[in-house]
A and B are shown apart, each in its own frame.
Chain A
Amino acid sequence: MASHAIDVQNAQENYLEVKGRWSGILSWIFSTDHKRIGILYLVSIAFFFIVAATIGIFMRLEQLTMGPTLMKPEVYNRLFTLHGVIMIFLFIIPGIPAILGNFFLPIQIGAKDVAFPRLNLLSWWLFMIGATLAILTLFLPGGLPDTGWTFYAPYSIRTGSEVSLAVFAAFILGFSSILTGLNFVTTVHRMRAPGMSFFRMPLFVWALYATAWIQILATPMVGITLLLIIVERLLNIGIFDPTQGGDPILYQHLFWIYSHPAVYIMILPGFGVISEIIPTFSRRTIFGYKLIAFSSLSIAIFGSLVWAHHMFVSGQSDLANIIFSFLTFFVAIPTAIKVFNWVATLYKGSIRFEPPLLFALSSIFLFSIGGFTGLMQATLPINVHIHDTYFVVGHFHYTMFGGTIWALIAGILYWFPKITGKMYNKKWIYGAWALMFIGFNTLYGAMMYMGWKGMPRRYYDHLPEFHTDHVIATVGSWFLYTGILVLVSTLIYALYRGAKADANPWGGTTLEWKTSSPPPLENFEKEPVVEHEPYYHEEAIR
């Protein structure tokens, strides 16, 4: 273990044992401790993930055969909407920042908590209220919305399904996201420990910082767009309704002004996690620290300027198409900078191959496939050909699932011993990885292939020529789902029966590894003083 790790074992009660004003479940749902709130998010978000993944399995089962076997077209429409809404708004946008960010951002900068602990708890409550409202649509007469997660006008204004409530739920979830972002920015500016200058911050913190800014700047835009859908449905204030002089294309613009930067809300924290894992398991400092830090910011900036590439076939002007296509290519540059720097960090490092590194490297691999196919779609002529096909579905699952969720899993595996004080069974994790990796590529690889051949997305049925591809994809989904269940069960088992973990099982160098596992209530025995850059390895462990 790193020699300068301060041994504070058993010196102070850890955050799981501390007795507060409340006990039992109340000690969690009313806790303002950022660590407990992080775990609240972990449990609730993991639940929604499993729900939405199960919906995905049912959609795949429908596609196993031709014709309406398992469900009718309307049901299929509602299911892919619900799958999208849950995965986007309830899982992947809050995902890494709310779980790992909440838990580790304060610890990594040497703070006791976030800047506004009560606001932090409010964010979680808003999140749960939003989630409840979204699920409530299931039991109302109109039923689940059938618009797709994008709620495009004018269909979202006309449909009889419960769009108003679902959209209001998304608005509340956006508010929760804004408050988390606001909290993180203020925390980074105000709560850093002595000596923790901006360029000594771990790269995970940098990524969260850039993400928090997108959350603050972009989310209100979708907020107002969604509010307008509600007033248009309830009060008939037509803003996007063509019969009242409105323009549905403007809805798409406003929607994507948020929702494209939102994909960087999803992926940037994942990059941050990878930037933590790579130096730890290579036993050397990160290559190109500043470039990685700034590339997060420049992804945030460029990513905000490319929204209309979702609208190449919407009928917007050719000039707009060309400009947005051109700008989209720019996003690849800071992203590639990160990937090259990670690879350069691994080069001649003293690599220790452990589950977190395995998942982090898989994440880079899968994201690269997603990224390159993204560039294909940024190319105007190709985009027209593959727009709204399974190619797009395959592409964004490679980026979002392959990039973000694999990074999230890598992060959970990396920090699991710190959060719980327990170590999991690594063999089972490797098994889960194999199932997931095979299943993932079979499922989404097949999707990309059939999309390239012309299979349109969001259809509940398919033509005979796509049948084999659909069968392959569905079989892949079973592998993937089984892998996820094995992973989750292994971690839950470790929670109860796992071996006790050290304060620093991986030889990490950032501040969270210099406190006990699990950390005490106020994170450190005494306020840490930072003297080195974050990935300073005093001695390489071989």
Chain B
Amino acid sequence: MKNIREIALEEHHDFVGAKMGMWLFLLTELILFTGLFILYAMYRVRHAAEFHAAATELDVVIGTINTLVLLTSSLTVAVGIEALKRRNRKLAKWMVLLTVLFALTFLVNKYFEWSAKIHHGIFPGADELLSRSQGEIIYFNLYYAMTGLHGLHVLVGMGILLWVYFLIARKPSEKVVVAPPNIEYLKGAQLIASKGEQESWVIDEIKDDVVEVEVVIKKDPKKAGVDIPNIIKLENAGLYWHLVDIIWIFLFPLFYLIT
């Protein structure tokens, strides 16, 4: 006789725990960028006019396109998660792939943007840049540091999404797994029998007057084609992707729109 919580633990299926860990990790990522935002704020206060002048040299059109690309990619990954939750593996696969493509578009745009700047002699340590005012030098140094670190996160996000894509693309296992909302809902329940594709559970912690409730979990042949752990993996990957998105939402106005 095993407690459902124990089964969940053995199979590493504490979905709430997994998500909590992910949120904590995102918090650390936010603070990582906070350091840069603090530096940006301090230097901007000191060199407000030079920051404005330097910002005019950035290409607002490419910046806007990239913002739209990232925002749309957040939508596609969200649709992908919902699709997988509804057991639509095919749609989920396409959506994740689309997200990866958007990420790639973003990086390609960034590449052209950076190379144009570097072509004009505006890169850290270049004589052209160092001949300018201190405020402009620090603006472009921050620009490269912050968009560079963000670009690195886009790259990592792409990698994670691709990994989850291959997990989803794999043929799902035949094993019957209790769906995550049920595991949470049935906390404290005991498994009393398990037979083939049908499992029976007895719950002892619903209300005081309820002594026994039987829940029969059947596999729906149409919806069975999803490995439950992949849902939480995609969801966590999606959370990471939203973080990458949200940081760009702040970078865009701070560098492009302050003219």
Q: Are A245 and B47 in contact (CB under 8 A)?
A: yes
Determine whether the beta carbon of A115 is less than 8 Å from that of B21. Answer: yes
Residue in A112, A216, A236, A239 whose beta carbon sits within 8 Å of that of B142 in the complex = A239
- Which residues does chain B contribute within 8 Å of A245, judged by CB atoms? 43, 47, 133-135, 137-138
Name the distance in Å between A212's Cβ and chain B's nearest Cβ: 9
Q: Does A221 contact B (CB under 8 A)?
A: yes
Which chain A residues border B32 with CB–CB below 8 Å?
A: 220-221, 223-224
Known: A186-B20, A245-B137, A247-B42. A220 touches B35 (CB 8 A): yes
User: DSSP majority for the A interface?
Assistant: helix
Are B135 and A527 touching (Cβ within 8 A)? no
B125 touches A235 (CB 8 A): yes
The A/B interface has a contact count, at CB < 8 Å, of 105
Count, chain B residues at interface, CB 8 A:
39
Q: Is the interface of B mostly helix, strand, loop or mixed?
A: helix
Within B27-80, the residues touching A (CB, 8 Å) are 27-36, 38-39, 42-43, 47
The segment from B9-17, B100-108, B209-217 found at the interface with A is B9-17
Most chain B CB within a 10 A radius of its CB, from A191, A225, A239 = A239
Q: Are A237 and B17 in contact (CB under 8 A)?
A: no
Q: Closest B-chain residue to A246, C-beta based?
A: B138
Task: Tell which of A45-53, A130-138, A177-185, A484-492 binds the partner.
Answer: A177-185
Closest to A213 in B: B24
Cβ-defined contact, A239 with B149, below 8 A: no
**Smallest distance from the beta carbon of A187 to chain B beta carbons, Å?**
8
Option from B21, B39, B125 in Cβ contact (under 8 Å) with A239: B39
Contact B42 A227 (CB under 8 A): no
Complex CA distance for A218 and B31, rounded to whole angstroms? 8
The B116-135 residues at the A interface (CB cut-off 8 A) are: 124-125, 130, 133-135
Q: Is A190 an interface residue (CB 8 A)?
A: yes
Is A55's CB within 8 Å of the partner chain B? no
Bound form: Cα–Cα A216–B38 in Å: 18
Taking the complex as formed, is B25 at the interface, i.e. its CB lies under 8 A from any CB of chain A? yes
B145 interfacial by beta-carbon distance below 8 Å: yes
Contacts of A220 in B (CB 8 A): 28-32, 34-35
Residues of A within 8 A of B6 (CB): 527
30 A-B pairs in the complex with CB atoms less than 8 angstroms apart:
A115-B21, A178-B25, A182-B24, A186-B20, A186-B21, A186-B24, A189-B20, A190-B17, A191-B9, A216-B28, A217-B27, A217-B28, A217-B31, A218-B31, A220-B34, A221-B31, A221-B32, A221-B35, A223-B32, A227-B149, A228-B35, A235-B124, A235-B144, A236-B125, A238-B141, A239-B145, A244-B138, A245-B138, A247-B42, A254-B35
Besides the contacts A223-B32, A237-B145, A250-B42, what 4 more A-B pairs have beta carbons closer than 8 Å? A116-B17, A221-B35, A224-B36, A239-B138
